[in-house]
Amino acid sequence: MSVPAATRRAAVLGHPIGHSRSPLLHGAAYRALGVDIDYSAIDMLPEDAAAFAARLRTEPGWVGVSVTMPLKAALIPHLDALSERVQRLGALNTVVVEHVAGSVRLTGHNTDVDGIVRALQEALPARRGSTAPRERRAAILGAGNTALAALEACSLLGLTHVDLAVRNAARAEPALALARTLGLACAAVEVSAAAGRLADYEVVISTLPAHAADELIGPLGLDRATGIPAPGAVLLDVAYDPWPSAIATAWESFGGTVVSGMSMLVHQGVEQVKYFSGIQDADWRHVTNVMCDAVGLSRP
């Protein structure tokens, strides 16, 4: 059965969720597209995943949900299908609800990868074939579900070696396994080791929750004159609230380029809007600009 446009709804799920800017972004996008989808925020925990999946199947109007921490793996067992990317990563950020012939099908996708790639593409200098170094290095702070998306993004961006800066190497095993699948050279390193390599990294991606990266400013050497990222080195901090984050401020003070996690949020959100609205052919540059305006982000 088709779902009447006037009754369509979507939401972002997570805990905590009060800080989320997704309702602003999605609301702006749907107005720009001229579609009626009510998008809200729902605070929920991993133990609520099964019950909420049942709601998606039984309550009328659902077209999909955005999924943030700590739910990126929790919903997977309760879905009918997973994209190849989600199967590879073991983490999702999008569930699409499809109504077909009287039945409901829940499919998991991951648009975090798209968000990271596009956010970094805006900041990374253009490279021309033979002039690019044979080894392009990156570092990822953390090894959780968002780090998995960051690894795939690094692969798509042509980076060849990734250091996972972690405090507990055992927690990095899933990420290391994914890196092998992607053909990336990868190692779990102490934060102090990453500090000594800052000048070698083209990209550093912090996948840590808000304020968690604050504790790494000292170990990374960003609180003294000896910790200097190479000019132009790009830091993407996926935590966008509060902004600027402490680590972003410290990075900029050493001449590094900073990309806000809000940019990632916008770009991954564009892909979610396509899934939820069912619209593929539109002026997506305009929609992206409208979403940027909604949260006060400079247009790409």
Q: Read off the pLDDT of residues 246-269 as tens digits, 9 standing for 90 and up.
A: 999 999 998 899 999 999 999 999
User: Which structural domains are found in the chain, ordered by start?
Assistant: 5-110+263-294 (3.40.50.10860), 114-255 (3.40.50.720)
When the pLDDT of each residue in the chain is averaged and rounded to a whole number, the result is 93
Q: Is the pTM of this model over 0.85?
A: yes
Name the 3-class secondary structure at 246.
helix
Question: Alpha carbon of 12 to those of 120, 215, 222, 228, 254: distances in Å?
Answer: 24, 28, 34, 38, 36
* CA angle in degrees (0–180, nearest 5) for 69-23-77: 35
Q: Is 1 exposed, middle or buried (0-12, 13-18, 19+ CB in 10 A)?
A: exposed
pLDDT at 282 exceeding the cut of 50: yes
d(CA 292, CA 298): 6
List Cβ neighbours of 213 (8 Å cut-off, separation of 6 or more).
141, 206, 237, 239, 245, 246, 247
What tens digit of pLDDT does each residue of 10-61 get? 999 999 999 999 999 999 999 999 999 999 999 999 999 999 999 999 999 9
Contact of 12 with 22, CB cutoff 8 Å? yes
Q: Which residue, among 145, 228, 124, 142, has the nearest Cα to 191 in the 3D structure?
A: 142
Work out the pLDDT band at 225, boundaries 50, 70, 90. low
Q: With b meaning 16 or more CB within 10 Å and e meaning fewer, what string describes 255-265?
A: ebbbbbbbbbb
Work out the pLDDT band at 235, boundaries 50, 70, 90. very high
Share of residues in the chain with pLDDT > 70 (%):
94
Indicate which residues carry an active-site annotation: 72
Question: Residue 33 CA to chain centroid, in angstroms?
Answer: 23
What is the reported pLDDT for 169? Answer: 87
Lowest mean pLDDT among 86-100, 118-132, 152-166, 214-228: 118-132
Centre a 10 Å sphere on the Cβ of residue 135 and count the other Cβ atoms it contains.
Answer: 11
What is the reported pLDDT for 41? Answer: 98
What is the reported pLDDT for 6? Answer: 45
Contact of 177 with 147, CB cutoff 8 Å? no
